[in-house]
Amino acid sequence: MRIDLVTIFPRACEAALGEGIVRRAIDRGLADVRVHDLRDHTADRHRTVDDVSYGGGPGMVLKAEPLFKAVEAITAEGPVDAVVLTSPQGRRFTQAEAARLAALGHIVLLCGRYEGVDERVRTALATEALSIGDYVLSGGELPALVIVDAVVRLLPGAVGDEQSVEADSFSRGLLDYPHFTRPAEFRGLRVPDVLLSGNHGEIRRWRKREALARTLALRPDLLPHAELDDEAREMLRAMRDERGAEHGRH
């Protein structure tokens, strides 16, 4: 898979891509991640990428021309499946979105900055816009890197243990179950006995129950869209009945 990032801070992106799973995926040839300096696609000696907004107002806006030229230079090397603009006006980035992008062969990520980008970039250049959350950041570099990390780790072979990817939070629409490691007791805090029992069936059921309970308590909004088998649905029904009974006693 190939991913191109277009940014005015290429060194910041390159530093983040030089570590961890993404770096290993690049080294193994599983992902081809390229960072492009938007200023290389300007025509003036000051390498200007931004300008004031028509109609006035605070802040600067990224110009359309350099972004169009950057994408045209990338597409000249081969077809692109998606041109993604990182923007607070975009669709919420989720695990399902990561899986969708990971199935593509080539995507381009445009990193916004300042007050945003010329609207013609959004309407005529980008094929979609994605947001990683409802908060304000200084620019689109961090969201783009979040997207890269989430997408690349889904590529076959990027993570050493494929079961680890399948069990991740949100992979099936649930938060992850609790994890423990040695020692079995630390400062009076013990690992649940079931995890020490060696009974793999009970461990599996405990983990499923805990994932459901954690999601019900912390992110109940995820449950209507979660992938639940019959056993999980029965567990969830029992949890809700128990919570309803507790509320009724208060």
Which residues, in sequence order, are bridge partners of residue 189?
186
Domain assignment of residue 146, yes or no: yes
Structural domain including 237 reads 185-249
User: Catalytic: which of 14, 51, 115, 149?
Assistant: 115
Asked whether residue 14 falls in the same domain as residue 132, the answer is yes
Yes or no: say if 6 and 110 are a contact pair by the CB < 8 Å rule.
yes
The yes-or-no answer on residue 115 being catalytic is: yes
Q: What is the pLDDT of residue 166?
A: 63
Question: 226-230 long-range CB contacts below 8 Å, 24 or more apart?
Answer: 226/172, 226/173, 226/174, 227/172, 227/173
Q: What is the pLDDT of residue 51?
A: 95
User: Catalytic: which of 34, 65, 88, 205?
Assistant: 88
Asked whether residue 212 falls in the same domain as residue 90, the answer is no
Q: What is the pLDDT of residue 244?
A: 87
Domain assignment of residue 41, yes or no: yes
Yes or no: say if 7 and 141 are a contact pair by the CB < 8 Å rule.
yes
Q: What is the CATH number of the domain that holds 79?
A: 3.40.1280.10
Asked whether residue 129 falls in the same domain as residue 53, the answer is yes
Domain count, the chain: 2
The count of other CB atoms within 10 Å of the CB of residue 212 is 22
- Answer yes or no: pTM beyond 0.85: yes
Q: What is the pLDDT along the chain (250 residues), one digit of tens a residue?
A: 999 999 999 999 999 999 999 999 999 999 999 999 999 999 999 999 999 999 998 889 999 999 999 999 999 999 999 999 999 889 999 999 999 999 999 999 999 887 889 999 999 999 999 999 999 899 999 999 999 999 999 999 999 766 556 656 666 889 999 999 999 999 999 999 999 999 999 999 999 999 999 999 999 999 999 999 999 999 999 999 999 888 777 6
CA distance linking residue 33 with residue 27, whole number of Å: 10
Q: What is the pLDDT of residue 246?
A: 80
Torsion of CA 6, 11, 14, 16, to 10 degrees: -110
The yes-or-no answer on residue 88 being catalytic is: yes
Q: How many H-runs (helices) and E-runs (strands) does the chain carry?
A: 10, 9
User: Catalytic: which of 37, 50, 141, 153?
Assistant: 153
Give the residue from 100, 132, 152 where a domain finishes.
152
Q: What is the CATH number of the domain that holds 202?
A: 1.10.1270.20
Domain assignment of residue 19, yes or no: yes
Yes or no: say if 171 and 118 are a contact pair by the CB < 8 Å rule.
no
